[in-house]
Amino acid sequence: MRHKNKGRKFGLKRDQRKAFLKSLAVNLIMKGKIKTTEARAKEMRGLVERLITKTKKGDLVGIRYAEKFLPKAAVAKLSKEVAPKYKERAGGCSRIIKLGERRSDGAPMVFIELV
């Protein structure tokens, strides 16, 4: 049983999985909208929303928290452009839109975008 074991493994080791999710988060922040599988989008959503919530205050603590996960270019865009848009919003910064199609291996595809 998987009690209290949250999160998906994606068939990767821990450090590879963390790097994979970070790269997806960077792409979402830089582009605003990406196409990926449903499982990847749902797993990445928590990381991205946490980063936006911490950096929307604009203080040094939030920026340093984001620097742990993202490269400098993504942190700059996050703190100057993305996070201030969600200043008044209590949560729910991302949206997952299911596409009718599936990938060749049967994985359902979605768009994840910043609202």
What pLDDT, on a 0 to 100 scale, did the predictor assign at position 64?
95
Res 97 pLDDT > 90: yes
Residue 67, SS3 per DSSP: helix
Whole-number average pLDDT of the chain: 94
User: DSSP alpha helices (H): ranges in 32-109?
Assistant: 38-55, 60-69, 72-77
3-state secondary structure of 107: coil
pLDDT in tens, 15-50: 999 999 999 999 999 999 999 999 999 999 999 999
50: nearest Cα among 76, 70, 20: 70
pLDDT band for position 91 (cuts 50, 70, 90): confident
Residues 6+ apart with CB under 8 A from 96: 38, 41, 42, 45, 110, 111, 112
- Residues 62, 79 contacting (CB under 8 angstroms): yes
> pTM to 2 decimals?
0.90
Q: Collapse the DSSP code of 41 into the 3-class scheme (helix H, G, I; strand E, B; otherwise coil) and give the result.
A: helix
The structural domains of the chain, ordered by start, are 14-114 (3.90.1030.10)
Mean pLDDT confidence for 71-95: 93
Q: How many residues does the chain have?
A: 115
